[in-house]
C-alpha cells in the first residue's frame, strides 16, 4: 500500500526523546546477543510461490486442520487461499462481511477464526482497526471497529507516534488468561502488535485485550519498536510477525528509510516489550538482486513448523506486480560424532575399498538411538548398514553407521567431514569430526 509522506518533524523530536521439498541451509551460529541466525534463510527457488492474476500482498498464514491457510490483500479487499505444502496455493474465495479491508491478521481461537484489519477509509482514530469473527474464514460476522481504554490509548488522533494506524501486525492468543491486565500488557488473553503512524513515520506498538474487541495500550505510552538511525536509515518499522518461542519472543518486521517496504529485519525480546535488533539485519532487502521483489520486500508472516521456520512475504517487481514468496530457516541440533571410533587420526584412504564407521554418540543432551538411519548422510553418502551399541563404553547406546568409502564426497585436502540426519520425530541433527586423507596425492 503506497502511503503519502507527511511532515516528520514531530516524529524526529519524539525519537530524540525516546517440511519443504528442497534442502534448506542449516543454522550454525547466531549474532552476539541473538539466539537465531537469520543469515541462513533460504528462499524457495521457484519464488514467488503465489502470484495470482490479482495482486497478492500482506499475507497472514496459519497451519490449521492439515492445511496452510492464507488471508491476503487482493486488488480489492481480502482474499483467502489454501495449500497442502505452503508452496502450491489455490485461491478459495474473496472474503465477505468486512469493511474496506486491508492489512488483515487472522488467528484461530476458541470462538473460531478472528480477524483484525485496517479499514482503509480511516487513519487517525481507533476506527482504523476493525475486528470480526468467522466459522470458515470466508464469511465474516460481527464486524465492528475495536474500542480502546480512555487512559491507555492505542491511537490518539493527535500528534504522536500513534496519531493513526495502518492496522494490526499480528495477534497472539493466550487461552488460559481470564482477566484483563492493564499493567503487564503481555499478560492478556489477546496481545496485538500494531502499526502506529504520525502520518509520516511508522512504529510498532503493543496492546492487550480480554475479548479481542476492547483494547488497552502499553502503559508507558511508547512504541516497542521505532526507527533506528544505526540500521541503514530505518525510519519506518511496520507489519511484523511475533512468535513466542520458548523463553524468547521473536519478531520479523518490515522497515525502510522512506517507506516501510525496503526490507525485513529481525529482533528478539525476553518480555515482548523491550526488543534487541539483530546486528546482521536485514534478513532480506529489495537490493538483494532478486527480480520479483526488487521494488519492495516486506510484510513477513512466519510460522514455526517442527524444526523449520517458514516465512511468506510480499515482493513487488519493477513492473509493479505484487506476489508472495517463501523462505525457510531450518533449526539443526549439533551432536557428537566419532569417525572411525578408537582411531586417531581418523585416516581414510579414498582409493581403498570397504567401509568407514561413523558413530553418533549419546550424551546427556542427546539420545543417539532417536536418529533415523535412513536419513543419514556422511560426506554425501548414505549408510550401507547401521546398528546400536555402546561405542564409547560409557554405558549408553550409540548409533553406529557404516559408509562405502567409494561413495564419500571427500578430496585429498579434506580436513573434516560432516554427518547430517533427522531423528524419527523430524529434528535435524549435524555433527562434524576431523579426517586425515591418505595418501595426500
Each of the 441 residues of the chain gets a pLDDT tens digit; together they read 333 322 222 233 333 333 332 223 323 345 667 899 999 999 999 999 999 999 999 999 999 999 999 999 999 999 999 999 999 999 999 999 999 999 999 999 999 999 999 999 999 999 999 999 999 999 999 999 999 999 999 999 999 999 999 999 999 999 999 999 999 999 999 999 999 999 989 999 999 999 999 999 999 999 999 976 555 556 799 999 999 999 999 999 999 988 999 999 999 999 999 999 999 999 999 999 999 999 999 999 999 998 899 999 999 999 999 999 999 998 888 899 999 999 889 999 999 999 999 999 999 999 999 999 999 999 999 999 999 999 999 999 999 999 999 999 999 999 999 999 999 988 899 999 999 999 865
Per-residue pLDDT at 28:
32
DSSP codes of every residue in 395-426: SS-EEEEEEEGGG----TT--EEEEEEEBTTS
81: nearest Cα among 65, 73, 92, 72: 92
> How far, in Å, are 135, 177, 264 from residue 109 at the CA level?
11, 13, 28
Number of C-beta neighbours around residue 432 at 10 A:
15
CA distances from 358 to 253, 409, 427 (A): 42, 15, 19
What is the Cα–Cα distance from 441 to 427, expressed in whole angstroms?
38
Q: Are 87 and 20 in contact (CB under 8 A)?
A: yes
Q: How far is the C-alpha of 99 from the C-alpha of 77, rounded, in Å? A: 9
Euclidean distance between CA atoms 257 and 217, whole angstroms? 26
C-alpha–C-alpha distance, residues 438 and 248, integer Å: 47
Alpha-carbon span 250 to 241, nearest angstrom: 8
What 3-state DSSP class applies to 251?
strand
Domains parsed from the chain with CATH numbers: 9-330 (2.115.10.20), 333-438 (2.60.40.10)
Instruction: Show the DSSP H helices in 96-138 as ranges.
Output: none
> Which residues contact residue 289 at a Cβ distance below 8 angstroms, ignoring those fewer than 6 apart?
none
Asked if 148 and 214 count as a contact pair (C-beta separation under 8 A), the reply is yes
Closest CA to 301 of 70, 59, 63, 105: 59
**Cβ distance 95 to 138 under 8 Å?**
yes
**Helix/strand/coil percentages in the chain, nearest 5:** 5, 45, 50
C-alpha cell at 380: 554425501
pTM above 0.85, yes or no: no
3-state secondary structure of 242: strand
* Cα-based distances in Å from 18 to 156, 162, 187, 239, 259: 18, 14, 24, 21, 21
Distance between CA atoms of 204 and 326, rounded to whole angstroms? 24
- Residue 101's nearest CA partner among 33, 50, 168, 183 is 168
pLDDT of residue 6: 27
What is residue 27's DSSP assignment? Answer: P
State the cell numbers at 414.
579434506
- Note whether 239 and 195 are within 8 A (CB): yes
pLDDT of residue 344: 85
How distant is the alpha carbon of residue 252 from its chain centre?
Answer: 6
C-alpha cell at 234: 530505518
| Full strand arrangement of the beta sheet holding 416-422 | 333-334, 428-434, 416-422, 377-378
Residues contacting 56, CB < 8 A, separation 6+: 50, 72, 73, 74, 79, 314, 322, 323, 324
DSSP state of 246: T
Q: What pLDDT score was predicted for residue 3?
A: 38
Amino acid at each position: 500500500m503506497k502511503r503519502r509522506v507527511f511532515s516528520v518533524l514531530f516524529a524526529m523530536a519524539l525519537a530524540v526523546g525516546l517440511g519443504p521439498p528442497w534442502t534448506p541451509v542449516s543454522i550454525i551460529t547466531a549474532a552476539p546477543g541473538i539466539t537465531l541466525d537469520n543469515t541462513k534463510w533460504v528462499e524457495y527457488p521457484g519464488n514467488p510461490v503465489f502470484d495470482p492474476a490479482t495482486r497478492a500482498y500482506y499475507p497472514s498464514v496459519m497451519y490449521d486442520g492439515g492445511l496452510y491457510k492464507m488471508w491476503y490483500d487482493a486488488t480489492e479487499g481480502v482474499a483467502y487461499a489454501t495449500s497442502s505444502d505452503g508452496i502450491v496455493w489455490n485461491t478459495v474465495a474473496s472474503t465477505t462481511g468486512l469493511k474496506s479491508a486491508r492489512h488483515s491478521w487472522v488467528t484461530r481461537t476458541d470462538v473460531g477464526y478472528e480477524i483484525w484489519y485496517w479499514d482503509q477509509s480511516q487513519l487517525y482514530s481507533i476506527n482504523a482497526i476493525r475486528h470480526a469473527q468467522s466459522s470458515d474464514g470466508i464469511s465474516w460476522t460481527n464486524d465492528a471497529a475495536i474500542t480502546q481504554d480512555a487512559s491507555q490509548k492505542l491511537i490518539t488522533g493527535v500528534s504522536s507516534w500513534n496519531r493513526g494506524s495502518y492496522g494490526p501486525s499480528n495477534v497472539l492468543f493466550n487461552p488460559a488468561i481470564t482477566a484483563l491486565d492493564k499493567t503487564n500488557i503481555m499478560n492478556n488473553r489477546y496481545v496485538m502488535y500494531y502499526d502506529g503512524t504520525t502520518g509520516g513515520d511508522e512504529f510498532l506498538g503493543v496492546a492487550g485485550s480480554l475479548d479481542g474487541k476492547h483494547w488497552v495500550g502499553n502503559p508507558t505510552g511508547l512504541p516497542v519498536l521505532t526507527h533506528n538511525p544505526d540500521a541503514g536509515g530505518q525510519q519506518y518499522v511496520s507489519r511484523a510477525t511475533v512468535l513466542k518461542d520458548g523463553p524468547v519472543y521473536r519478531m520479523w518486521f518490515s522497515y525502510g528509510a522512506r517507506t516501510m517496504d525496503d526490507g525485513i529485519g529481525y529482533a528478539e525480546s525476553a518480555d515482548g516489550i523491550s526488543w534487541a535488533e539483530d546486528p546482521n539485519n536485514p534478513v532480506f532487502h529489495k537490493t538483494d538482486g532478486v527480480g520479483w521483489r526488487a521494488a519492495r520486500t516486506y510484510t513477513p508472516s512466519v510460522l514455526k513448523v517442527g524444526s523449520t521456520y517458514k516465512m511468506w512475504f510480499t515482493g513487488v517487481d519493477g513492473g509493479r506486480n505484487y506476489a508472495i514468496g517463501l523462505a525457510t530457516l531450518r533449526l539443526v541440533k549439533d551432536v557428537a560424532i566419532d569417525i572411525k571410533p578408537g582411531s586417531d587420526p581418523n585416516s581414510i584412504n579414498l582409493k581403498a575399498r570397504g567401509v568407514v564407521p561413523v558413530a553418533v554418540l549419546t550424551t546427556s543432551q542427546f539420545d543417539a538411538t532417536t536418529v533415523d538411519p535412513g536419513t543419514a548422510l556422511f560426506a554425501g553418502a548414505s549408510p550401507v548398514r547401521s546398528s546400536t551399541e555402546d561405542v564409547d563404553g560409557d554405558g549408553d547406546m550409540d548409533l553406529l553407521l557404516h559408509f562405502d568409502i567409494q561413495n564419500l564426497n571427500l578430496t585429498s585436502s579434506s580436513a573434516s567431514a560432516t554427518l547430517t540426519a533427522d531423528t524419527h520425530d523430524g529434528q535435524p541433527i549435524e555433527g562434524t569430526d576431523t579426517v586425515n586423507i591418505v595418501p595426500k596425492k
